[in-house]
Amino acid sequence: MKQRQLGPFTVSAIGLGCMNLSHAYGVPPSAEQGGQVLLAALDAGVTLFDTAALYGFGANEELVGRVLKPHRQQIVLTSKCGMTGVEGKRVIDGRPDTLRQTCEDSLRRLQTDVIDLYYLHRWDRQVPIEDSVGALADLVAAGKIRSIGLSEVSAATLARAQAVHPIAAVQSEYSLWTRNPEIALLDACRAQNVALVAFSPLGRGFLAGGVRDPSGFAANDIRRAMPRFQAEHFSRNLRLLDALQGLATETGFTLAQLAMGWLLAQSEQVIPIPGTSNLRHLQENLSADTVTLDMEVLTRLDAIVNENTVSGARYNAATQQEIDTEEFGVSVQPA
């Protein structure tokens, strides 16, 4: 696979987001099936694997650790702290002592002595970002982690964190239908040589054509709470998918290849981490590494799906309060 730079690491241009092997989209696959996906990604040339303490409340780290331990020297292993499961509930806690304990727990579950890239999963507004990043810097000094990342933060918060310790990557939702990083974060990452790791590059399945009827989502599928998948918005968004399908038919690419190809073309700083539990979808996603879209196709994709044509916010109001990412229509303060 083609390679891109992630802090001090050279990684596959497309990584694997491991979340849905244990978490978020209804009943997860069996551990056996999850292991097959991890090993198939490895065999296909993926070297970047992304997990978190939150995913499956530790189960995802255990799966990744168990399956990939024999291949540890071949991969760049990333995880996250600052948002975990406590007594069955998701809790954001960026206090230094909590981050240190979460790291120890993650090292044990991942069966490794060091995590290559460790993200602050969410900025806890009750704790100055400098304090949380300072705790992660201590973990670097202790040899527990090799580099520091942030997730769902603004360009201004990135600048504050950089003043404490170099930041290798910012993880943010970025895709044809979620353009928030284009407000300020992508430019900040370019200027500071920070990788932008794009989660949900396929719009949580929508851009790949895998979601036509959200009413079939499992009761615990997190997309049920996302406005874009609710009836009043989804019917409008389906028209975008129909237009994308027309372009896919015309060009001979799949929907996933178009969406991933567009994202890879935005900047060398961008590293998508699509997730899947399906081996065929995995191969389709990774095949975007070989796709080159000409400027006409990129322009048409831009015109079909963008912040003005998508209906509905990406998060509900409660979740929106937990993130620091810039939003359209809100003035951006200088970093």
What is the chain's Cα-based Rg? 19
Please, which residues have CB within 8 angstroms of residue 200's CB and are 6 or more apart in sequence?
17, 173, 175, 178
Please, which residues have CB within 8 angstroms of residue 186's CB and are 6 or more apart in sequence?
174, 196, 266, 267, 269, 270
What's the confidence (pLDDT) of residue 87? 87
What Cα–Cα distance (Å) separates residue 157 from each residue in 97, 122, 135, 163? 21, 12, 16, 10
What's the confidence (pLDDT) of residue 329? 75
What Cα–Cα distance (Å) separates residue 96 from each residue in 77, 93, 103, 247, 308? 22, 9, 11, 49, 40
Which token pair is 46?
A: 């993926």
Phi, psi at residue 92, to the nearest 5°? -95, 120
80/71 Cα distance (integer angstroms)? 20
What's the confidence (pLDDT) of residue 211? 94
What's the confidence (pLDDT) of residue 333? 54
14/271 Cα distance (integer angstroms)? 6
Secondary structure in 3-state letters for 15-53:
CEECHHHCCCCCCCCCHHHHHHHHHHHHHCCCCEEECCC
What's the confidence (pLDDT) of residue 175? 98
Please, which residues have CB within 8 angstroms of residue 301's CB and are 6 or more apart in sequence?
176, 244, 247, 258, 259, 262, 293
- pLDDT averaged over consecutive 10-residue blocks of the chain (335 residues)? 97 98 93 98 98 97 98 98 93 98 98 98 98 98 98 98 98 98 98 98 96 93 96 96 96 97 97 97 96 96 97 95 90 52
Domain 3-202+263-290, second-level architecture: Alpha-Beta Barrel (3.20)
Minimal CA–CA distance to 247: which of 203, 303, 288?
Answer: 303
One-letter amino acid for residue 284 of the chain: E
> Strands, E, within 158-297: which ranges?
169-173, 195-199, 270-272
CA angle 145/148/153 to nearest 5° reads 150
Question: Which active-site residues does the annotation give?
Answer: 55
What's the confidence (pLDDT) of residue 88? 85
What's the confidence (pLDDT) of residue 332? 54
Q: If you search the block for the tokens 């990557």, which residue do you land on?
A: 169
What residue spans define the domains of the chain? 3-202+263-290
Q: Which helix (H) or strand (E) holds 76?
A: strand 76-81
